[in-house]
Amino acid sequence: MNEPAISIRNVTQRYEGSGASGAVLAIDEVSLDIRKGEFVCLLGPSGCGKSTLLNIIGGLFRPTSGTCTVAGRLVDGEPHPDQIAFVFQESTLFPWYTVIENFRIALKFKGIAKSEWDDRAMRALKSVGMASFAQSYPDQLSVGMRQRVNMARGICVETDILLMDEPFAALDEQTRMVLGEDLSQLLAATGKTIVFVTHSLAEAVFLSDRIVVMTARPGRIKTIIDVNEPHPRSPDFMLEPRFSELRNECYSLLRDEIRATVAAQRDPQGADA
């Protein structure tokens, strides 16, 4: 059997509090293997540790206990930009640089030869339909366009793994679905391994090869749902009975977890600390 692209073993993350707040157990004993070229969505209620788990994979956090390996290499609280790229919810473009200048900075940081910068940038921008905006400044672009650029910047560094933390959360539903189609096409064309955090049931079903459903805090894996639909995916998939069945299954699994989260917010003293 091929080695997984990402292997998470018994990962626990506890944040030490101060004063009355006490410690917070964010995720608890999470184990998961993600195959090379797989699109995995982390789906769960607010505060369940989805972003924490993503940050551990990316080397931004060191887990309290347990291990995470990427392509067999231990990730221990240190980013590996040669293997992993991030796309965040908020735009991380420098507003005083043009789009292509933002790409040059990212490629310089990764150690890519200067002679390759513009070719890589334009290929990535073309893949998301933004090549004609290479000389624009971020504030000249809509929110959706900026996210296309952010996605392209994650593509241009040509890492095997792309970590995406609710990248479409600030967008309207129509734009989200169009960008979802682009992402599905990207996966089919490049074979990248993508881990994607979302609160959207429809987004998770439309994009995922597998959906990892997490419990309310402390986050644990409640179940994993196989979607079994080839990429690239078209909007027609959303009209199929299986799409509705999978979305309803996700909601059924999450309903009690969402209620538990709401109850904990109303009564913090009763929450797991």
Q: Determine contact, residues 213/42, Cβ cutoff 8 Å.
A: no
pLDDT tens-digit readout, 30-46? 999 999 999 999 999 98
In a domain, 112, yes or no: yes
Classify the phi-psi angles of 98: left when phi > 0, otherwise alpha if psi is within -120 to 50, otherwise beta.
beta
* Domain finish residue from 158, 173, 199: 158
* Structural domain total, the chain: 2
Pair (144, 197) in one structural domain:
no
Average pLDDT (84-93) is: 82
Does the pLDDT value for residue 273 go beyond 50?
no
Q: Could you give the 3-state DSSP secondary structure of residue 40? A: strand
* DSSP three-state, residue 122: helix
Burial class (CB in 10 A: 0-12, 13-18, 19+), 37: middle
Is residue 241 one of the residues assigned to a domain?
no
Query: How high is the pLDDT of residue 171?
Result: 79
User: Tell me, what's the pLDDT at 14?
Assistant: 92
CA separation for the pair 44, 211 (Å, rounded): 10
Quote the pLDDT of residue 266. Answer: 65
DSSP class per residue in 97-112: S-HHHHHHHHHHHHT-
Residue range 218-230: average pLDDT?
A: 94
The verdict on residue 79 lying in a domain is yes
pLDDT at 21 over 50: yes
Write down which residue in 124, 141, 158 finishes a domain: 158
Report helix angle 143-156 to 99-110, nearest 10.
30
Share of the chain above pLDDT 70, in %: 93
Q: What confidence score (pLDDT) does residue 27 get?
A: 94
Q: Is the pLDDT of residue 136 over 80?
A: yes
Residue found by looking up tokens 């893949």 in the block:
127
Would you say residue 51 lies in a domain? yes
Beta bridge partners of 40: 195, 210
Residue range 125-141: mean pLDDT, rounded: 90
Question: Which one of 87-101, 112-126, 183-197, 214-228 scores highest in mean pLDDT?
Answer: 214-228
Contact 32, 221 (CB under 8 A): yes
242 within some domain: no
Are 69 and 58 contacting, i.e. CB atoms less than 8 angstroms apart?
no
Within the chain, how many helices (H) and strands (E) appear? Answer: 7, 10
In this structure, are 98 and 144 located in the same domain? Answer: yes
- pLDDT score for 272: 45
pTM, 2 dp: 0.88
- Does pLDDT of 47 surpass 60? yes
Same domain, 153 and 39: no
> How confident is the model at residue 126, as a pLDDT?
86
Instruction: Using the 3D structure, point to which of 105, 136, 158 is the last residue of a domain.
Output: 158
**Mean pLDDT across the stretch 35-60?**
93
Region at 197 (left for phi over 0; alpha for psi -120 to 50; beta for the rest): beta
CA–CA gap between residue 85 and residue 2 (Å, rounded): 22
Cα distances (angstroms) measured from residue 124 to each of 12, 17, 37, 80, 195: 36, 42, 18, 21, 19
CATH of the domain at 69: 3.40.50.300
Q: Which of 10-19, 114-123, 196-205, 262-271 has the highest mean pLDDT?
A: 196-205
Q: Phi/psi at 161 (nearest 5 deg)?
A: -120, 135
As a whole number, the mean pLDDT across the chain is: 87
Mean pLDDT of 48-70: 93
Average pLDDT for 94-119: 88
Are 132 and 76 in the same domain? no
In a domain, 227, yes or no: yes
Burial 243-272 (b: 16+ CB within 10 A, else e): beebbebbeebbeebbebbeebeeeeeebe
pLDDT for residue 165: 92
Cβ atoms within 10 Å, residue 112: 16
Domain containing residue 16? 1-83+163-236+247-273
pLDDT confidence tier of residue 18, bands split at 50, 70 and 90: low
Same-domain status, 167 and 127: no
Same domain, 174 and 254: yes
